[in-house]
Amino acid sequence: MFKRDNLPKLFGNDDFTKRTLRFAWHLTSIAWLGLAGILVVLAQPTIEPKPILLIISATFFIHFIAALFGSKGKHLSWILFALITLCTALTAIQYF
């Protein structure tokens, strides 16, 4: 797909578009790993909310780091990922 010459040229060239597509591909993989972690926790006989919140927080923290550095701060999704990380981490802290 990256060999095509008709990708949108954002910020002057198509590099940002290519990085965004790569980012979305890897971000989906991270999200599925986070979901797998949650399913493992849910399979336990006793379900605690703390591990689930920590998995969600860690997953979105990885999303935040990937979005911030992968797009060099240009793709503003890092703000949303940071907010979700903060909210879930603060909620998890209440359970400790």
Is 95 in a helix, a strand, or coil? coil
- Cα dihedral across residues 81, 82, 84, 85: positive or negative: positive
Which structure tokens are listed for 87?
Answer: 């909210």
Percent of the chain scored above 70 by pLDDT? 82
- DSSP state letter for 28: H
Which structure tokens are listed for 96?
Answer: 């400790």
Which structure tokens are listed for 33?
Answer: 């790993």
pLDDT band at 13 (very low <50, low <70, confident <90, very high): low
Find out whether 70 and 23 touch, Cβ atoms under 8 Å: yes
Q: What is the pLDDT of residue 8?
A: 61
By C-alpha distance, which of 16, 81, 79, 91 is closest to 51? 91
CA–CA dist 47, 17 (Å, integer) = 41
In tens, the pLDDT along 24-39 reads 888 899 999 999 999 9
By C-alpha distance, which of 8, 9, 96, 4 is closest to 53? 96
Query: pTM of this prediction?
Result: 0.78
